[in-house]
Structure 1
C-alpha cells in the first residue's frame, strides 16, 4: 500500500475529517537530502476536522503524528496544515 493511502486510512479512522488532502512532493526533492529513491519520502498534509478546534497548534500536530503511528519514522519530511 502506498504511504499516502496508509496516511489517509489512519487519519480518516482517527478523525473523520471534513477535508483531507495528502500530496506526495517526493518528486520535487529527487536527488536532495532525504530522497531514498522510493518516491515516497516527502509529503504535504492538509486536514480539517472539528476535533481540532479546541486544541493548540502543538496539540494538533502531536495528535496527528500519534494517529499516523510509524509512518513519520518511515519518511523524511511531512508538512502539516491542521485545522
Structure 2
C-alpha cells in the first residue's frame, strides 16, 4: 500500500471526513534533504472534519499525528497540514 493510501485510510478511519485532499509533493523535493528516493517522503494534507473544529491548531495537529500513528509519521519526512 502506498503511503498516500495509508494516510487516507488512517484519516478516514479516525475522523468523520467532510473533505480530504492528499498531495504527494515528493517530486518537488527530489535531491533535497529528506528525500529518501521512494517518491513518498513529502505530503500536504487538507482535512475537514467536525471533530477538529473545536480544537486549537496544536490539538488538531496532534490528533492527526495520533490517527496516522508513530510509524507512518516517522516514515514521512515532511507533512504539511491544513486542518479544520
**1:78 counterpart residue number:** 79
Q: Deviations over 1:1-54 (max 9, x none)?
A: 000000000100100210000000000000000001000000000000111111
Query: Any gaps of 5 or more consecutive residues in structure 1?
Result: none
- TM-score by structure 2 length? 0.96
- TM-score by structure 1 length? 0.98
Number of aligned positions between the proteins? 83
Q: Would you identify which runs of 4 or more consecutive aligned residues in structure 1 move more than 6 Å?
A: none
RMSD of the TM alignment (CA)?
Answer: 0.5
Contact 2:16 2:51 survives alignment (8 Å):
no
Query: Any gaps of 5 or more consecutive residues in structure 2?
Result: none
**2:9 counterpart residue number:** 9
